[in-house]
Every structure is written in C-alpha cells, then in structure tokens.
Amino acid sequence: MKTKNSAYLVLTIIFVILSVIGGYFLYQVVNQRQSSSVNTIPITTPIPTNIPTITLTPIATTSPIASSSVKSKLTPTPTKKIASPTATIKPTSTPKPTATPKNSDPVESTPTLTSYESIGDGFSINYLSSRKLYQDTESSGNRYTFYLPSGNFAVHVGLNDQWAWTTSNRDFNGDYLVAGQNTYRYDISTQTIVDLQYNGKNYTLQCVHNGNAAIKTECEEFISSFQFL
C-alpha cells in the first residue's frame, strides 16, 4: 500500500514540474509573438517642410499712368523663346489690379507696340497698347502693372535690397540675359518670373500667362524689350 502511495506522489511531483516548465515555455512563445507584431508597424516618410514660397501682394486701385510717358511703335522685335527651367517653388498669389478699364474705353482691332520709360526707376519696356498701364507701390518698392483680363504683366522694382517675392533658390547666371545682365528665371505652367539686378535696385519682370501660348509669346517679347536708361 505504501509503495502505491509513493508512486502516486512521485507522479504528482513530476506532473507539477512538467506543468511549470510547459507554462514557462508557453509564456515565452506568446511574449515573442507580441514583440514581433509590434516591430512590423511601417514607418511613414516625413513630409518635407523646407519648400520656399513666393509672396506677391495684390495690386491696389490706381489710375492709369498718363500717356505722356508712352511712346508708340509699329512692330515688335522678334525674340528667341527660351526653354523653361525646372523649379520647385510655388507662387502663393498672383497680383491683379482692382482698377479695370471702363466699358466706354475704345477697343483697338490691332494693338500697336508701345514703349514706356520710368526715369525714376531707370528702365524702359515695350508692351501692346491693348494693355492698361497702372503704377503703384508695394512693401518692397514700386510696381508697374500692364493690365489685361486674360493675364497681367508687371515690372517690380525692389528698393533697399528687397525683392517683390521670396525664394531660397535665386541664382543669377548667364543662361538667359536681359538688358545684358545675368538673370534668375523661374517658369511654371501659369507664369514666368525673371529677376535681375542693376545700379543698386532689384528688378522682377513677371508675366501671368495662364498657359496661353499667345500670351507666353507676348511675354517673351515683353521681357526681352526691357532696357536700362
């Protein structure tokens, strides 16, 4: 009888030991599976935050510039169209004058080439007479807007080392010369911007062409006609 009781006791001890060992290994397996599932969470790529922006202020209400500073010409000077470089900068706004031509203004069937000179800011430029010319000021200096509903052109003159728009990518080179000066040119689908410096002033030539082929051609002629006085 004692022998049977001893056998039962030994078997019971062995069973308890095996149960403890089995529970320990089961705990280790479950813990490893949980750790493995946590490590499989994908890591998302952070969005870059160093994208520069263009800031151009809207044009205020002004009266058209008097015609005394405007000279007419008959034919525009043909220019060679320059391929647009790539750029990552995105404009944040497009300047638009709040003053619009009156309905009573005569409409020209064939616009003529007109020359404008700014003695104070030291430049001249040609534009089509179908555009209305406005002059006002902005935070960086003076602005000359050549208004047309389908797309405005503008000359921004930055004073005191200021520019009409901001970019960290302004690099002047001789790939595209305007008035004999190196430029920084920026092209996107809706507009073209050309920066150049001369005699202590920062000049920005801007065309809002909205992808229109005819206005883009006019823009090239507008920019290439720019000269210093």
User: For residue 107, what is the domain's CATH number?
Assistant: 3.40.1000
121 and 159 together in one domain? yes
> Are 22 and 70 in a shared domain?
no
pTM of the model: 0.58
Residue 181 lies in a domain: yes
Domain range holding 71? 53-228
Task: Kindly state whether residue 48 falls inside one of the protein's structural domains.
Answer: no
In this structure, the answer to whether residues 105 and 205 fall within a common structural domain is yes
Residues 179 and 151 in one domain: yes
| Alpha carbons 175 and 194: distance in angstroms, whole number | 12
Number of domains in the chain: 2
Mean pLDDT on 199-207: 97
Regarding whether 68 and 11 lie in a shared domain, the answer is: no
5 and 105: one domain?
A: no
Domain assignment of residue 220, yes or no: yes
Q: Does a structural domain hold residue 2?
A: yes
Between 71 and 165, the higher pLDDT residue: 165
- Asked, for residue 46, whether it belongs to a domain, the answer is no
Instruction: Please check whether residues 33 and 125 belong to one and the same domain.
Output: no
Co-location of 140 and 223 in the same domain: yes
- 5 and 83 share one domain: no
Cβ pair 162, 170 in contact under 8 A: no
Give the range among 1-5, 57-61, 130-134 with minimum mean pLDDT. Answer: 57-61
- Percent above pLDDT 90 for the chain: 51
58 assigned to some structural domain: yes
- The pLDDT value recorded for residue 212 is 97
Q: Residue 74 pLDDT more than 50?
A: no
Q: Is 26 part of any domain?
A: yes
Give yes or no: residues 57 and 8 share one domain: no
Are residues 174 and 84 located together in one domain of the fold?
A: yes
pLDDT at 105 over 90: no
- List, in sequence order, every residue forming a beta bridge with 72; answer none if it has no partner: 114
- 47 is a domain residue: no
| 179 Ramachandran zone, left/alpha/beta (phi>0; psi -120 to 50) | left
- C-alpha distance from residue 124 to each of 31, 32, 127, 167 (Å): 79, 77, 10, 26
The reply to whether 9 and 88 lie within a common domain is no
49 — pLDDT class (breaks 50, 70, 90): very low
